[in-house]
Chain A
C-alpha cells in the first residue's frame, strides 16, 4: 500500500464535511434571493457595516480579551506554583483542576445562576449579614465570570506543561549572575513560558469570542455577542444569507488569529504542547 493511500479517507472526509460546507457558507454570504433565483450580492456585508453590528463585534472582542487576560493573570500563578512544587499532593491538585472539565459545562454554568441570582446563595448570605442585595447576574461582568470559569483550566494546563520543562539551573545561573528573583522571572521564566501562554490564549480566546450559550445564560439576553447574532439568524429569523455573512467574518478573524498564534508558537521553538483546544 502506498503511503498516500492512507490519506484518502482524510481527503474525502475533509473535502465533503469541512471544505464543502464552508464553501456553502461563503456562497450564502455573497448571495441574496433575487427576483428569479439567487443573485450575487454584497448586501449582507453592507448590512454588517452598520455601527450596531460592529459594536457587537467589538463587545465580543472586549469580553473575550478581558476574560483571556483574567485567565492568564489568575492561571499563571497556579501553573507556576504547581510546576515548582514537589508536594505529594501536586498530582491530586492537577486532577482537581482538570476534573470540572468532565462535567457538562452547561450544568456548571447554570449552577452559577443559583449562586448569583437575586434570591440566590450569595445574596441570601449578604442579607443575613445585614448587607444590601447585589445584582450579580445579567451584565457583562457575569458573562466574563462565566467565560473565565469555563476556560481557566485550559489556560493553566499549557502554561504548567511548559514551565515543567524549565531547567532550574537556568534560574540558578541567573541568580549567580546577580539577578534578583523578580528580574530572573521576567528575563528567564516568563519568556520561556510564552509558548504555553500562547496555547492557552488560543484555547480560551476563540471559544470566548464566539460563545452564545454563556452570554445567554449569564447575560440574560442583555449582553448579546456575535455568536448570539449568528444563532438568532439560523434558529429564529431564518436568514441564512446574513447569518453566513457574519460566520464568514468570524471565521476569517479566528483563522487569521490562529495563524499568528501558531507562528508565534513556532518562533518560540514550540516548547509547549501544540495548540489543543
Chain B
C-alpha cells in the first residue's frame, strides 16, 4: 500500500520545484535554445537557397555562353558563305568581261579584215581598170596589125586575167 500512497511533502515539493524548474528552464534554457535552433535552421535554409540560386545562375550563364558560341559559329558560317559567293561572283564577272573583250577584239579584227579586203578589192579593181586600159591600148595597137591576132590576143589576155 505504501507504494500507491502519495506523500504530502513530496507532492508539495514536487509542485513547487517542478513549476520553478519549468519557469527557469523556459526563461534561461529553452528560449535561447529554440531561438538558436530556429536561427540556425533559417540560416541553413538561406544558404541552401543561395546555393541553389547560384547553381541556377551558373546554368543560365553556361547556357548563354553556349548560345553565344553557337551564334558566333553561325555568324562565321554566314560570313564564309558570303565570301565564297562574292568570290564566285567576281570570278564569273571576270570571265564574262574577258570573253566580252575577246569577242570585241575578234569583231574588230574581223572588221579590219573586211576593210582590208575591200581596200584590196578596190585596189584590184583600179589595177584591173588600168590593166584593161593598157590591154585595150595593146589591142588597139595589135588591131592595127592583124585583126585576127587582135581577137586572139584579147581572148588570151582575158583568159589570163583571173580575179583572185
Q: Please say whether chains A and B are actual partners in one complex.
A: no
